[in-house]
Amino acid sequence: MTHVIDGNAVAESIRDDLTACVDALRDEGTTPKLATVLMSEDAASATYVSMKQRDCEAVGIEAIDVEIDPDAPADELYGTIDDLNADPEVHGILVQMPVPDHVDTRKVLRDVDPAKDVDGFHPANVGRLVAGDPRFKPCTPHGVQRLLADADVDPEGKDVAIVGRSDIVGKPLANLLIQKEADGNATVTICHSRTADLAAKTRAADIVIAAAGVPEMVDGSMLTEGVVVIDVGVNRVDADSEKGYELVGDVEYDSAAEKASAITPVPGGVGPMTRAMLLYNTVKAASERADVAIDLP
C-alpha cells in the first residue's frame, strides 16, 4: 500500500500549536506581525500572497499586504523594504518572488533585515543554514523535512535525489538534509537541467524530491520500488475545467504512486507546509524580538 502523505493535516496540526504560541506572546504584550509585499501581476503569486494573509489571520498573526505596481520604479520596492525594516511593529517581511525584471532581486534579498527575513533568503541567513546554525529555515525545505518526519521517514543514511537547484528549494533543502542533526544525515545528490543521466540518479535514490518546476517530469519509470516521493512542483497546465487550468506537480502521480511506499499529492502535499512554516518563522521572529521564550512546535 502506498502511503499518501497528507500535507493539509500536518500543516493544520502545526497551525493549531502556533495558535497557542501566538496567544502566549500576546499575553506578554506582543502580537506577531507579518508584512507581505507583492510587486507582480502574476495571478498565481497574488493567490499565494492572499492565502498567506488568510493563514496569518487563522492563527492570530497580524498581517499587512503592501501591493506595488509592477511598472513602478524599483526604488518604490526598495523604499518599502526600508520602511518595513524600520517599523518596530513588523516582525516578518516577505517579498513575493519573482519580482519584475527591472528590480535587482539580489538587492531585495540583501536589503530585508535578516532578523525579519522569514523566508530565510538573506545571504547572512543562507550562510547560517550552511554553517549548521540556522536562524530561519526556508519555508518549503523546512516543510519537506517535517513531512518526512511525520511519515516516519528518517533521512539518516538514505540516498536522496533532489531534482532542481533553486535558491528557494533545491539548495537549502540539500543543506538541511546533510546536516549532522535530527532529520538530516542523508547523502544528497542535487540534479538539474545539465545532469547527464537524471533517471539513473533518481532510480538510485531512496527518497526523490522533485522541485524543478517542470510539469510531471519525474515518472514511475525513473523510480525504484519502495521509494519515498516528495513533489514540490505546483504547475498550472491548460485544462478543460471551469478555471481553464489544473494544478499538476513535477511528478507524474499515477505511475510514481505505483512504485512509491509514500508520496505527496499536488495539491495538498508540500504547498500547505510551506505556508505553515512561514507562520512558524513569523512567530519565531516575534518571540526573539520580544525576548519571550515559547515552545515552538
Judged by beta carbon, residue 166 or residue 195, the one nearer ligand GUN is 166
Contact (Cβ atoms closer than 8 angstroms) between residue 103 and residue 81: no
- Catalytic position from the list 33, 52, 201, 259: 52
Asked if residue 234 binds ligand GUN (CB under 6 A), the reply is no
Contact (Cβ atoms closer than 8 angstroms) between residue 15 and residue 279: yes
Asked if residue 168 binds ligand GUN (CB under 6 A), the reply is yes
- What distance in Å separates the CA atoms of residue 255 and residue 204, rounded to the nearest whole number? 17
The secondary structure of residue 184, as a DSSP letter, is -
Whole-number minimum distance, CB 20 to ligand GUN, in Å?
25
Number of residues that bind ligand GUN (CB under 6 A): 9
Contact (Cβ atoms closer than 8 angstroms) between residue 59 and residue 22: yes
Asked if residue 44 binds ligand GUN (CB under 6 A), the reply is no
Whole-number minimum distance, CB 56 to ligand GUN, in Å?
14
- Catalytic position from the list 55, 111, 117, 119: 119
* Cα dihedral 253, 257, 262, 266 in deg (nearest 10): 20
- What distance in Å separates the CA atoms of residue 46 and residue 270, rounded to the nearest whole number? 19
Query: Is 171 annotated in the active site?
Result: no
Which of these ranges, 90-98, 104-112, 212-220, 236-244, lies near ligand GUN under the rule CB under 6 A?
90-98
Judged by beta carbon, residue 58 or residue 97, the one nearer ligand GUN is 97
Query: Is 119 annotated in the active site?
Result: yes
Asked if residue 119 binds ligand GUN (CB under 6 A), the reply is yes
Whole-number minimum distance, CB 157 to ligand GUN, in Å?
29
- Catalytic position from the list 33, 55, 96, 111: 96
- What distance in Å separates the CA atoms of residue 190 and residue 173, rounded to the nearest whole number? 10
Sheet holding 207-210, edge to edge: 3-4, 262-263, 228-231, 207-210, 159-163, 187-191
Identified binder of ligand GUN from the candidate list 56, 77, 84, 94, rule CB under 6 A: 94
Query: For 22-144, where are the E strands, in sequence order?
Result: 33-38, 62-67, 92-95
- What distance in Å separates the CA atoms of residue 73 and residue 98, rounded to the nearest whole number? 16
Identify which of 197, 138, 148, 146 has the alpha carbon closest to the alpha carbon of residue 170: 138
- What distance in Å separates the CA atoms of residue 192 and residue 110, rounded to the nearest whole number? 26
Query: Is 133 annotated in the active site?
Result: no
Asked if residue 235 binds ligand GUN (CB under 6 A), the reply is no
Asked if residue 95 binds ligand GUN (CB under 6 A), the reply is yes
Asked if residue 281 binds ligand GUN (CB under 6 A), the reply is no
Residue type, 226: G
Asked if residue 139 binds ligand GUN (CB under 6 A), the reply is yes
Active site positions, annotated: 52, 96, 119
Chain residues in the site for ligand GUN (CB under 6 A):
94-97, 119, 139-140, 168, 274
